[in-house]
Structure 1
Amino acid sequence: MMTSSTLSPAQRWVIRGSSFTVWALAAASAVFWGLRLAQPAPVPSVEVAAGTTLEADPAAVARFLGATQGPVAALPGAPALASRLSLIGVVADGHQWGAALISVDGKPAHPYRVGATLEDGVVLLAVDRRRALLGPSRDAAPTLTLELPTLKKP
């Protein structure tokens, strides 16, 4: 049996170099396969003809998110306005901040943040999980409540 004391210095360097080469190849292989497996799968490209524009249909997006045309609940004093507005969707947090997706006069819905003016004399005052409160100004009490329809159970 050969021990390290019986090996010449040249033989020791050959063993050290061989060991280093084997371990370097093993590390390189591990890095290569690690990077190869971490890459996402290639996504096929979609070609779009030049000159075409893609536009989102707000009504279709609202239907996709679960909204349906629902009843508009109005507080006394705003029946004409209630028939012109339709609540499509709501994004709210626990502090009544957020935004509402509201359609005016049957036009495509637009997002309005709390405090924004929909039209002259109509301001979005607050939003809740399923409703939006509107009033004549930011400091006034709500005069109109728009509600999303109740969700249908499957």
Structure 2
Amino acid sequence: MRLGTLVLWAAAGASVVYWGLRLSSRPSGVAVPVAAAAPAAPDAGALARLLGASPATAVVKAPVAAPSSRFALQGVLSGRTSGGGAALIAMDGKPARPYRIGAQVDAGLVLQSLGPRQAALGATVDGPTTVRLEMPPKG
């Protein structure tokens, strides 16, 4: 009986020593690499001068499409008595989506009003119209 008790206490003591050393040691994990900062975009004018371009050379920017050419009015659902309604507007060649009056169609443009075959877009519902969309003729 004494030998069994001695073995049990020796195992308990060894366990305490093992876990004490394990928990008190420093973690030896692999250090996490630091992410490098994204490089800044090069200045096109400075790069052109470096490669020998004359100072009079100008960088030509891509033309921006007119706002009305980005949108295509494909359908109008106007409420005659309620003054509400919705328009089916396709943007940048994507499938048409329905927009209610007052809904934001694009950045800085909301649907202001609807006519029989037209829709008006502007910065605010009550503001001036900046883009007027017409449905294509039937045919």
TM-score, normalised relative to structure 1: 0.45
TM-score, normalised relative to structure 2: 0.50
Between the two structures, name the one with larger relative contact order (CA 8 Å, sep ≥ 6): 1
Between structure 1 and structure 2, the one with the greater Rg is 2
Which is strand-richer, 1 or 2?
2
